[in-house]
Structure 1
Amino acid sequence: MTLTLTSTAFDAGGPIPPIYTCEGNDISPPLAWSGAPAETKSYALIVDDPDAPDPAAPQRTWVHWVVYNLGPEVSALEQAGRHSPSGSLDGLNDWKRAGYGGPCPPIGRHRYFFKLYALDTMLPDLKQPTKQQLEKAMEKHVLAKAELIGTYHKA
């Protein structure tokens, strides 16, 4: 089986509804996954935008959400608001805060990558790591990865 990540809020490659953005309620969309390896001990999720600030001339990847130590029994995140499920740990997004920060592109249609990692361990408390710090901690522990891409353009 292959690890897959889906959302009932938007199709792969499709537009993310405004409710999940800075123009709406800025809450995280529902996500679900399946097909994790049997050895999975935890999951990590990173949501980022490689098109910042302008898709025609991207200069950086903007991080919207970093969450890890989602338990192996977890196979979905409900439309959740800004903070992560009980038992999981938040990292810092590029607004320098924990939790979800929705799409809010200054110009153009951006792509948002929802990346789920199945890990062979629970990670130690990294004290609100950045995306880069979490990726470093996950090295040698990733069993599988799934990706879901959505897009958004401000009205």
Structure 2
Amino acid sequence: MTAASVFDFETRRLDGSAMPLADFRGKVLLIVNTASECGFTPQYAALQKLHDSYADRGFSVIGFPCNQFGGQEPGDATAIATFCERNFGVSFPLGEKIDVKGEQAHPLYRHLTSTAPGILGTEAIKWNFTKFLIDREGQVVGRYAPATKPESIAKDIEALL
């Protein structure tokens, strides 16, 4: 089956409960692969600020922890949740720890990367905090490099709200 939108994917929350992306239908999303021990980890604060700023207009950040880049997300679900809440006040949804590249990549990330390739058409995620902007119909409308500051994406989010 070929997915028509990100809303066609089944995912799980960090606590293991179901998080079908269909539950977000009609919202603008920013999907991010995250890590707790990365140089970009302080972006959690800016991602939370975006989430807070636009949630009432139909926007959500969704983070997916990943340990594929330098082993920078070694913790279990409890450690990740505690770290994110304690250090950055994260309240946006966090998915379970997944692979975002390679043969074991989650089907959602296969869809994201094939729909929105990176520089020079490469599909692979290169590092933590790669961001994908999704419109209300579940279509990928933007891909942002790890170094892209979340606040610089605000104008693109506003255009979709």
Both proteins in one fold, TM over 0.5: no
Q: What TM-score results when the alignment is normalised by the length of structure 2?
A: 0.27
* Higher helix proportion: 2
